[in-house]
Amino acid sequence: MLASLRGFALLAFCFVLFAGASFAQITAIEGDVKGPDGQMVKGAVIQIDREDMKGSYKGAKTDKKGHYIYNGLPLGGKYTVSVYIDGQKRDEVSHIQTRLGDPVPVNFDLKAPQQAGQAAAAPAPPTPEQERSLSKEQKEAIEKLNKENAAIVAKNKALNDTFNAGKEAANAKNFDVAIEAFQKGTELDPTQAVIWANLADSYVGLANTKTGPEQQAPLEKSLDAFQKAISTAKADNPAYHNNYALALGRLKKTDEAQAELNKAAQLDPPNAARYYYNLGAVLVNGGQTTAAEEAFKKAIAANPDYADAQFQYATALSAKLATGADGKVVAPPGMKEALDKYLELQPTGQFADAAKGMLQMIGATIDADYNNPNKKNAPKKK
């Protein structure tokens, strides 16, 4: 019985891990707008402009409490967030880096503008009188500059168009088309980390449509693209390291994956629990159950209320189940506590039945109606 249940637990363990390993590739920005009079501003318009790629996101307005939120921003970008009141721009904050987890806070206090000074306007073209006074060399210099500017505009448009086409294709799961578009983008500008990252994600998406050995080639190509994304990014992006690690893990490059996830955790401490959880996923699928146990333990240390990490930690510990002299199953230290904590946090969660079954197996007393009084969305006792 012990052997069969242990096999069941480990089978479930392997099945669920990669399902929860990737993070959604969208993030959010939210904040409050306070007017010059110190009161919260209702109806202020928020505009978000991407700095590393051309892109503008509008539509967010503050509610009656002066709060706004914009969901659905691509992960890994840098943005300038501006606030408009009565059609006039009142303030802006630049170089906002999106991240995994909770929305990035960007607040505005119009009593104290957060960014003084605006970008200088482009110089106006010379008047006819001024143009007549220009020398031949000056006219040629102006013409050259105009041509260069036109070429830059055309290149940016082409880059933006191919990036948007790639995103649209990827969202529709047309990964071959997405790969072609993003590859074109890397040729237009090989310094755009966000394009390399999306190319890498598209290769992973393509691999997910394959089975067996056919997954190998697109996964290998994703590694090259992830490396380019990381090396060309202006700042270390934890999401790039995370997704790179997951691709490495699928190719059984466990040590490299572990290094990348540890790096992501160092870069993004508020989300360290998720990275350590992913590390546990990579390790268990690489057959390193003991190391996975430690990874899940780190995830719990970073966030004790991470329910899935509690369950997976208990499942990893199930490899150490023993049979006592009386024939009863003996659980290793920490297993029962982790299962109890999972059921406290998720009494009707996806692993609730499995957790109760494991508790029954080790002879633990089960509360038939787990309830967390500190959790607002916990089911009420009937």
Tokens of 138: 């000056």
Q: 26-109 domain in CATH 2.60.40.10?
A: yes
Asked whether the beta carbons of 289 and 316 are under 8 A apart, the reply is yes
Asked whether the beta carbons of 257 and 226 are under 8 A apart, the reply is no
- Bridging pattern class, strands 322-323 and 329-330: antiparallel
pLDDT confidence of residue 88? 86
pLDDT confidence of residue 103? 80
Residues in the chain: 382
Distance of CA 14 to the CA centre of its chain: 22
User: Beta partners for 71?
Assistant: 28
Q: How far apart are CA 307 and CA 313, in angstroms?
A: 10
pLDDT in tens, 280-295: 999 988 889 899 999 9
Range from 38-47, 53-62, 251-260 carrying the lowest mean pLDDT: 53-62
- Bridging pattern class, strands 329-330 and 56-61: unpaired
pLDDT confidence of residue 17? 43
pLDDT confidence of residue 23? 43
Q: Which of 303, 256, 304, 310 is nearest to 279 (CA)?
A: 256
Interacting residues of 343 by C-beta distance below 8 A, sequence separation 6+:
352, 355, 356, 367, 370
Asked whether the beta carbons of 315 and 281 are under 8 A apart, the reply is no
Q: Residue 377 above 60 pLDDT?
A: no
Q: Look up residue 123 and give its amino acid.
A: P
Q: How far apart are CA 141 and CA 378, in angstroms?
A: 70
**Rounded (10°) CA dihedral 225, 228, 232, 234:** 60
Asked whether the beta carbons of 69 and 60 are under 8 A apart, the reply is yes
Residue boundaries of the structural domains of the chain: 1-21+272-369, 26-109
pLDDT confidence of residue 342? 95
Average pLDDT, the chain: 80
What CATH code is assigned to 1-21+272-369?
1.25.40.10
Model confidence, pTM: 0.63
Two domains, one topology: 1-21+272-369 and 26-109? no
Q: Which of 22, 25, 1, 21 is nearest to 13 (CA)?
A: 21
Report, as an integer, the average pLDDT of 312-331. 88
Beta strands in the chain (DSSP E): 26-34, 45-50, 56-61, 67-74, 78-85, 88-97, 104-105, 108-109, 322-323, 329-330
Q: Residue 9 above 50 pLDDT?
A: no
Residue with tokens 């969202």: 171
Tokens of 218: 């697109």
pLDDT in tens, 46-76: 999 888 776 777 778 999 999 998 877 776 6
Q: Is the pLDDT higher at 280 or at 97?
A: 280
pLDDT in tens, 203-213: 999 999 999 99
Asked whether the beta carbons of 92 and 82 are under 8 A apart, the reply is yes
Q: Is the pLDDT higher at 37 or at 25?
A: 37
Q: Residue 374 above 60 pLDDT?
A: no
Interacting residues of 317 by C-beta distance below 8 A, sequence separation 6+:
293, 331, 332, 334, 335, 338
pLDDT in tens, 348-359: 999 999 999 999
Q: Look up residue 71 and give its amino acid.
A: N
Q: Residue 304 above 70 pLDDT?
A: yes
